[in-house]
Structure 1
Amino acid sequence: MRLHRLAAAAYFAIALGSVVLGLVVGSATPAWLVTMWYPPGEAVGRSPLLPVLGGLLLLGLVNAWMFWQVLRRPAPAGGPMGRAARWLRVLLYADVVWLLIPSYLPDLVETVIGLALWVPALVLLTVVVTGSGRFFRLALLLFGLVEPVRAVMDALADDAQPLIFAIPVGVMVAGVAALVMMVMVLLAQWRDGRWSRGTLLVGVGTFASPFLVALVDALTRGSTIESIAEAMDVLYVVWLARTASELNRELNCEPRRPAPPRVPTAVTAVAAVALLMVVGPEYAPRLTYTWRSEGGMDCWLRSTPPRVADIPVHERDRAYLCSVSKPDREISDQELIGKGKAACARFAGGEPVRARPALLALLCPEVIGRRHPELLLSSAQVERQQAEERSRRREQLRREARAEDARCRDPWPALRTRFQATASYYDWDGQPYGIYDAEADTSGDAETIWDAYSAETLAVSGQLALIFTPAQDWATCVTAKALRSAPPPLRRRGWDKVVEADIVSGSGRLVMQTLSASRVRFPDLARGGPGRYRLRLYTREGVDLILVYPARR
């Protein structure tokens, strides 16, 4: 018995024995080690025993067939082989051995070894095959190098890989390039004529294996059967071995043109049905311009819909879909657009609609604009209108404040000084107004006043004085006068309170905070420079009179 037959029979006998042993001991571990070549995981123990052993037995049969094909002796050469063909056969067999030997090396090392075997083999294959033009072989080489480049970038850069391979589109492009490369390799083998129909059919079968794995994954949802199905992807290894085995014709030999490989009708039907089961019906079709990435980052992350004037015309449907789509509802883009158009029609007819007009403006701005013209403005126009409104409001407040200031009168006109001012102050929320040293940090003084807060009208601490006025719906007229010496006594009649306190000015500048919206500027109240000042407050309903003068030593 030849070696390939003996190895295949021996392996299948061992696999069958491991399955029987698994039935006896009630565990799939022996059969798993023999057929999968690595220890089973926890999911194997939780899966039903009979289906797992049945899949492992089928896998053992497939592996035995693989050994039969791989260990066959090369076909007899029709003539002396060239150097390129001999090196190509060596690289193909080395690649087969590398794929069959379990490896526990780091990912980067495995990637480098795999590429070191496959890339030179691909280059030599483009040199060895005949019957294809130079442009065809160059295109074959370029398509074949896309996947190795992606693998190198993925192994070297990990998460920081280039953008073209980091997004799903880049991964899809690399996968498509690999499929195109395989198709071109099989076409080149068929044109060359030295490879048998069986080898070409095995190569065609490599296309079905990914769909088989995807189908099993969709039906079993990540169970143990999926791992078994992935392990059955040995057609690629068999194709490499048969390609190396039948590389037996010298380049100067006239290639024969075999009959085109014919796939049985039953195989074609089964493959088509499997493909349809994997792809499934498109229950939620997407418009071409709304293709979404895995993270959904092509939609705007905002709580309000964008303004129609800010979106180009060709992007408005997409903006509408991004605003109304919800991740927990599977509704096709066409259905959403159709509902929006129907709402526009009802809105134009005066019927009530549940959709917000700001959203419908993205689909039918001419309809929404008749009743809501403000929705057709751009963000810049809205911001400009808001700025103009704020400016008008500020000017209105200044006019009202100037009118209030004009109604205020000096309560002690006989005491005249150039350093005085009068303004109106509104105390809507019980907040006091203050006098403080312009260059001092009065935060500590403010904390002291508020910590010891009482019902006093005047509160002073260090370089800060706060004047509390009773809450009322009208303005308080505040007059402050800075004097060089103590003023004469003023009759208390007509005043509710007269209080005094000392305030310190380290910089020689005591300022009154701005009271009125008209921005009345009070003078410097420290006429004598740095030092201690006496602050006297006369107050009655609606009127405050403040006198500031140097304190006696």
Structure 2
Amino acid sequence: MSRRHLGLLAAGLYLVSVAVAAVIAIANDDLRVFYLGVVWEWAGGGFMLGDGFPEAGDMAAGLAVVAVLNAWMFWQVLRLPPRADKGADRRVIRLRRLLYLAAAYSAVLWLPSELLPDALAEALFLLVWAPLWVTFLLVLTGESWRFRALGLVFAAICVALSVESAIDELPGVVWPNTGWLLSLVDSAWLLMILLAQRRDERWSRATVTLGLAGLTMPFAFEFFGALLVPFLGPEALVINWLSDELNVFYTVWLARSAHELAGPGAGSAPAGVASGGPPRAVRIVSAAVVLVPVIGMIEPEERPRLTYSGWDDRCYEWTMQYRPYGDTRPEDRERAFICHARTTMDGVPPMFPDTLADQYVLAYGRRLCQAREREEQVALLEEAGSERSGWGADPDDLVFLCPDVVGARQPDLLRSEAEKKADEDRFVAEENARCPEAWPRVRARREGTSAYFLFEGGGYAVYDPEGEIGEESWDAALDDGFVGAAGGAVTVMTESENQPMCLTVKAFDSAPPLRLKGWEQVTEVGVVSTSGRLLVPMMEDGAEQGTAVRLPNLAVKGPGRYRVRVYAGGGEDAYEQHLIVVFPGRSGKKVEYVR
């Protein structure tokens, strides 16, 4: 297969994967799937949709543009035929390899780097780009020493800022955000390279033009996107967002620069530099550009380290999503404890002062683990200067530092979400199995039996989910002490609370026989269903009350008026049991059969 055909194949496969992602996104009504197929990243829950953000259609159009550009990038990069390095000196060969590596990183290798720890990913970025920033300046021909010196200054600043970014990702290190400065200096370095390439016959005008596009288009899109927001509204943000996805021109420029470097004249050495290799002075300066910023940023080990606050993005999964110990990787457990210790969520003060270094926070945490009495914990927190010393230490926080100690006292804190969910499902299934059908001899058009888990205060409702459900039915039930109805809802009060009860529902096409024997309370009321549904809520999505299994829609005749007959019984030794009978009926009158 020729290189040209390989480029077409890669672009075609990418577009096919994008098309599949688009179909899945449409089927599931989830634009994030299309986003994943286009840019190979999973977007967050909000994904720029909602008030103040572009419509889904505008975002989809922007993604389609990015997909086409990415396909063009794969075709351009992979269609370039290989060239031999015959006649090229070592610096040219080295630069070509660095350029191809940078192009691969920009196109696809960034994806596996996302799976690495943040500090390691930043270090990988530095290893790819730092040699390129220096080596490119050494192979340019016809440039003055002043030009190269200025380029080396820019390269040194880029290396220093990249080292700072890598160190900032280490636990316990906080640096100012200098990403904007790195982008600015790197752009200045690239502009110098493009000026030199234009004067160097080894590179074509097309390559230089693509480099200029890679340099200017992201800034232009971001500028004009922000400028147009007051006039076009949120839709203009799509233009702004595209600025982050327009690195395709830069990637193609990297690949073409490497390819054309092996053309005629590739072996030429820079003016004033011997072909056998750069002079000792140039090698020393180039090495210093890379190494000196690294050495200068090494911190003394004894220096107190401060890390992120509880509001930091890197703490989000513990302070906002409440990731438990069982779902936290061993290497992240100290971070999780520090995040909990420094959080100020819900307006609470941090466990330790902001000025206390991480080493001391961890040391105090381990001492808190060994404290058996609450008074000991309070004394330790007071010693550390804690603003919440009177509260003691929360085992949910300490478990990340000393799982053996906390787990021996509260083993539930060691479980993962999956284990907790399995236990909850097992408990719900067992409780549901204890509930028999309340009226087994009479078959209804629709029926079902389930355990109903009651919350504080007890009570439940039969309601139209699309109707107006206010407080009227609850107030009426409280006044009656048993059943209240208003609009599209019927509320039933229970004797039990904070425990399961048994509930059977039956829906008939017409009024069934009245059954009173064995029931302590029987009341019938009227309800209106405008949507053609009358439901009992199921316990799902984190709810603390509802049925164990989904019960059927009780509005068998669709929209209209229905009668709801409520039976209640059961004793102290057995679960409270209710029977709900629903059938069409125009009357809204309340009737009490047994009280």
Normalised TM-score (structure 1): 0.41
Normalised TM-score (structure 2): 0.38
Structure with bigger gyration radius: 1
